[in-house]
Chains A and B, each alone.
Chain A
Amino acid sequence: MNEPNLISLPPTPVAQSVSPENPTGAPDLPPPAPSAIRKFLNSKSSGRVPDGAFRGLMFVCALSIFLIVLLILFVLISSSKLSIHTFGFKFFTGTTWDPVSGDFGALPFIYGTVVSSLLAVAMAVPLALLVAIFLLEICPQFLRGPISFLTELLAAIPSVVYGLWGVFVLVPIIRDQAGPVLEKYLGWTGFFVEPNFGVGMFAASVILAIMIFPVISSISRDVMRVVPPSQREAALALGATRWEMIRISILRNSRIGIVGSVILGLGRALGETLAVTMVIGNHPDIMKNLFAPAYTLSSVIANEFTEATGDLYLSALIEIGLALFLVTIVVNAIARLLVWAVTRNNSAVAH
């Protein structure tokens, strides 16, 4: 990557004629000294007015991103004002969601979102890293292409299709095959207790894990791949085994990117809607049992947003949207800070 100060362009007559304070490039500036060549070029490829207009247009595009986010934030805040005023902070600690009496608390949804996403990350990360290592260091050449193609294909499958597969394949498997086994061996932990109907927190986490797996795996593989060969060779030359080489030269050098990929995966899991809605059971309850149905922030919006009758109900749903929005911003910010902190301490390592 170039340093910013290397980028600033050398002043040229054309570039200079548009002052930075005047991005629209008003044509009232004195024209540069005319020369035959300049005249020719100007007549050929037009002059300052389009230059300024172009710059202005690009600026408007860039600014619109800013405006869009502000607009979304504004809509969310202004439409959830009623709920914010009525419930205050209690909204985030309340456990009732009762449209009949108009009592709304978001804790079960927050719990559902956080737990399903963290479980998904916990399941996906070790597998994704091991697969990345396998593809990079162990896999025979002829298998590498097909396997990585398969994992990338997984990333292209839309959420609703995962939901479809979840409903018809995964849920029956969890209900009839995996569930009883889990209950037998892990039932004592209290996480896998009958009744198990297939749909519930566990099914949602598994679907999410499968969905975020390709994100984590392919990004961390890309990151591992750019570790310079000299690093590997140095480790091997010192007599390290393959695992030691992976640990010392690859994992250590690429851990920033790996953390980044994990957080990206987490972000995707937090906001995921359709696939989760189809398998989580949509029941707002906080249960230790992972077989029990649960509910997430995004699912409750998907289910109830168009039909919330009554201002308070609607406002409460939009506040849930606002909460989801803020959570994703915080997750993004944490990712950014982490990467920044790690790169600063290991600037020699980072490229």
Chain B
Amino acid sequence: MTFKTISSAALAAVLATAGVMTAGAQHITGAGASFPNPIYSKWFAEYSASHPGVQINYQSVGSGAGIRQVSEKTVDFGASDGPMTDEQLAASKQKLVHIPTVLGAVVPVYNIPGAAKELRFSPDVIADIYLGKITKWNDPRIVKDNPGISLPDHGILPVYRSDGSGTTYIFTDYLSKVSPDFQKKIGKSTSVKWPLGIGQKGNEGVAGMVHNSAYSFGYVELIYALQNKMEYGFVKNSSGKWLKASVEGVTAAAAADAKGMPADYRVSITNAPGNDSYPIASFTWLLIPQHFDDAAKGKVMVDFLNWMLTKGEGEVSALSYAPLPKAVAASVAKTIKTIQ
């Protein structure tokens, strides 16, 4: 009796699940960078809402995962804040196109209870905090950049990304440019070997840890700092000017470097020249297969990308990302046409 009920329940469950496996609708799955996740999740929610029957599921699992999973063809598209390297492109199981979507800034965030706002961090100080050479908040070099601000005699807890991360790529790319020591000891990549600190998963994780831990220091995308009302510092740019991250600063950095934009869009704009260029800025890319195995998916993807260039780009400033410079957007529109 009891056994029959159980087994018939199990059977019903099998049948039900088999039934739903055949349900329709166009599902597209993407995964990757958490840096643009706030704007992507908004885009995909809006696009899906205005296009019934289409669901674009984006999981913010880190740029490294975006690169690896789209190369393995386990997701339909990837996303990364660090452009793929030549080796990574060669190792991929399908030909991929980089489509720049927005520009963003990485900001140094900190949590010092009771301390004055608006701290300044020169590039070498940031590098040396992560190298373990500056360990206290009242280190003379931090004090020198912040005259008149009393800093506590407390250890600094550097927080970094434990997952493969494009934010880490941008950050280490920048620090490698400004600190030869950093380049030699750590280097740039989506995952690096940090000599100290604690690791957290995703921009969300780092922001969460800094948010919840006194005397910590971390790096996150600007929007994460803004949405959580976290303190983030000024950074000295290549012209020696102190800048707080802003849409304008990122746009200026993009403009300064846009002339040198290569055809495949793989460009680094950290430490860009120019008076108003915020130094830790970057494009972020969608990694789209040149040729979709499923033509219907390819069509939806192309339609989405066009929607993004026209409608989507208008919404990015509200979330403190910078839209693509006009020249770049025009050439991206051409690239989209080549995707099948």
Contacts of A282 in B (CB 8 A): 162, 198-201
Report B77 CB to chain A, min CB distance, Å: 15
Determine whether the beta carbon of B164 is less than 8 Å from that of A307: yes
A171 to B211, CA, bound (A): 13
Contacts of A167 in B (CB 8 A): 208, 212
Interface centre among B68, B154, B191, B192 (most CB of A within 10 A): B191
Question: Per a CB cutoff under 8 Å, which of A100, A194, A195, A308 touches B192?
Answer: A100
Determine whether the beta carbon of A197 is less than 8 Å from that of B198: yes
Taken residue by residue from 193 to 211, chain B's Cβ proximity to chain A (1 for < 8 Å, 0 otherwise) reads as 1101111110000001100
Question: Per a CB cutoff under 8 Å, which of B162, B193, B197, B213 touches A175?
Answer: B213
Taken residue by residue from 70 to 84, chain B's Cβ proximity to chain A (1 for < 8 Å, 0 otherwise) reads as 010000000000000
Which of A10-18, A91-99, A234-242 contacts the other chain?
A91-99
A306 to B78, CA, bound (A): 12
User: Is B190 close to A, CB under 8 A?
Assistant: yes
User: Is A281 close to B, CB under 8 A?
Assistant: yes
Determine whether the beta carbon of B189 is less than 8 Å from that of A100: yes
Interface centre among A282, A283, A314 (most CB of B within 10 A): A282
Question: Per a CB cutoff under 8 Å, which of B64, B187, B194, B216 touches A307?
Answer: B64
User: Is A64 close to B, CB under 8 A?
Assistant: no
Determine whether the beta carbon of A309 is less than 8 Å from that of B68: yes
Using A100-B187, A283-B199 as known contacts, say yes or no to A303 and B157 having CB atoms under 8 A apart.
Answer: no
Contacts of A211 in B (CB 8 A): none
User: Is A199 close to B, CB under 8 A?
Assistant: yes
Contacts of B214 in A (CB 8 A): 175
Q: How many residues of A contact B (CB 8 A)?
A: 34
Q: Report the number of A-B residue pairs with Cβ-Cβ less than 8 Å.
A: 103
Using A194-B155, A195-B155 as known contacts, say yes or no to A99 and B191 having CB atoms under 8 A apart.
Answer: yes
Question: Per a CB cutoff under 8 Å, which of B69, B87, B187, B213 touches A306?
Answer: B69
Question: Per a CB cutoff under 8 Å, which of B163, B193, B208 touches A303?
Answer: B163
Determine whether the beta carbon of A304 is less than 8 Å from that of B196: no
Residues of B in contact with A, size category: 35 or more
A101 to B61, CA, bound (A): 23
Question: Per a CB cutoff under 8 Å, which of A99, A277, A283, A309 touches B196?
Answer: A283
Closest to B31 in A: A306
User: Is B186 close to A, CB under 8 A?
Assistant: yes
Using A96-B193, A100-B187, A100-B192 as known contacts, say yes or no to A307 and B61 having CB atoms under 8 A apart.
Answer: yes
Determine whether the beta carbon of A307 is less than 8 Å from that of B65: yes
Determine whether the beta carbon of A306 is less than 8 Å from that of B199: no
A3 to B231, CA, bound (A): 71
Using a CB-CB cutoff of 8 Å, which residues 33-78 of chain B contact chain A?
A: 61-69, 71
Using A99-B189, A309-B164 as known contacts, say yes or no to A283 and B212 having CB atoms under 8 A apart.
Answer: no
Determine whether the beta carbon of B193 is less than 8 Å from that of A197: no
Determine whether the beta carbon of B163 is less than 8 Å from that of A307: yes
Using A99-B189, A308-B164 as known contacts, say yes or no to A198 and B65 having CB atoms under 8 A apart.
Answer: no
Contacts of A260 in B (CB 8 A): none
SS of A interface (majority): loop
Contacts of B69 in A (CB 8 A): 306-307
Closest to B68 in A: A309
Using a CB-CB cutoff of 8 Å, which residues 201-254 of chain A contact chain B?
A: none
Determine whether the beta carbon of A171 is less than 8 Å from that of B197: no
A168 to B190, CA, bound (A): 28
User: Is A25 close to B, CB under 8 A?
Assistant: no
Determine whether the beta carbon of B67 is less than 8 Å from that of A283: no
A171 to B66, CA, bound (A): 31
A171 to B209, CA, bound (A): 11
Determine whether the beta carbon of A171 is less than 8 Å from that of B212: yes
Contacts of A310 in B (CB 8 A): 87-88, 91
Using a CB-CB cutoff of 8 Å, which residues 246-292 of chain A contact chain B?
A: 277, 281-283, 285
Contacts of B190 in A (CB 8 A): 307, 309
A175 to B194, CA, bound (A): 23
Closest to B32 in A: A307
Using a CB-CB cutoff of 8 Å, which residues 267-298 of chain B contact chain A?
A: none
11 A-B pairs with C-beta separation under 8 A: A96-B193, A101-B187, A167-B212, A172-B212, A283-B194, A303-B199, A307-B69, A308-B164, A309-B68, A309-B190, A311-B91
10 closest A-B pairs by beta carbon, nearest first, are A307-B64, A282-B199, A307-B65, A307-B164, A281-B198, A195-B155, A98-B193, A99-B191, A282-B162, A293-B198
Q: What is the interface of chain B, defined by CB distance below 8 A to chain A? A: 31, 61-69, 71, 87-88, 91, 154-155, 157, 162-164, 186-194, 196-201, 208-209, 212-216
17 new A-B contacts at CB < 8 Å, known A307-B61, A307-B62: A98-B193, A99-B164, A99-B191, A99-B192, A100-B188, A101-B187, A197-B198, A197-B215, A282-B201, A295-B199, A304-B191, A306-B65, A306-B69, A307-B191, A309-B67, A310-B87, A310-B91
